[in-house]
Amino acid sequence: MSVYFYEGAQILAPLSIISNEPMFDIDSVSLKKQRASQGAQRWELAFGVIGEPDTQVDLFLSAAVGIETATTMIMPQLNKVNDRSTLDSTSTTLFGSTVAGSSIVNVDASATTGLLPKGSFIKFSNHDKLYVVTADANFTTGSTAVSIYPTLKTTVAAADFMRTDAECTLTYLRSIDSATGITFTDGVLSSIGTVELIEVV
């Protein structure tokens, strides 16, 4: 099981990863249901952390200072994804360009081998949006098609990279709805409550 950190403190289970994509539901007179989306989507995370003496200062500052500034952290991957992933590289070049709005990106498999399992979070080097892989991608040779959700926000070119694992970072703002402070218990352990992060898109 992989361990992930927020401001130096270990993230605790349960970890919530939520896809926020506003949808509109319409029932016609004939009771036919129609759904529509504006095409906007962001990831939102919620979790607790282990407060220890050596992380208290960073946790306190994260709850009180610079809350209006975007920052980054490694995007937590699902345990099953980590167990199945056999990629031998965390940064791989793309195979040609792919236009914004596409749900499949072609990746150059000539320098990378292994399996990128569905459920993996990835990102591209030319923008900060995170994507999740929707079907297993097996890298052997040539070009490998990687299916993603949501659709590609920005056009990517052959000079850009697909980033996975520790190279896949979430650019986020801390939610102001849960911005509190720090609570000390017995003068040793500290808690900043539930941390809620919102992807910067």
Q: What is the pLDDT of residues 159-189, one digit of tens each?
A: 999 999 999 999 999 988 866 666 766 655 6
CATH architecture of 78-165: Beta Barrel (2.40)
Average predicted confidence (pLDDT) for the chain:
88
Residue 193 makes CB contacts below 8 A (sequence gap 6+) with: 48, 178, 180, 183
Q: Would the pLDDT of 199 be above 90?
A: yes
Model's pTM, two decimal places? 0.87
- 1-76+168-201, what's its fold? Elongation Factor Tu (Ef-tu); domain 3 (2.40.30)
**What Cα–Cα distance (Å) separates residue 87 from each residue in 8, 33, 94, 138, 165?**
26, 41, 15, 9, 9
User: What local confidence, expressed as pLDDT, does residue 172 receive?
Assistant: 95
- Label residue 79 by pLDDT band (50, 70, 90): confident
pLDDT confidence of residue 82: 86
Question: Where are the chain's structural domains?
Answer: 1-76+168-201, 78-165
pLDDT range class, residue 116, cuts 50, 70, 90? very high
5-22 core/surface letters (b: 16 or more CB in 10 A; e: else): ebbebebeeeeebeeeee
What does the alpha-carbon distance between residue 118 and residue 166 come to, in Å, rounded to a whole number?
17
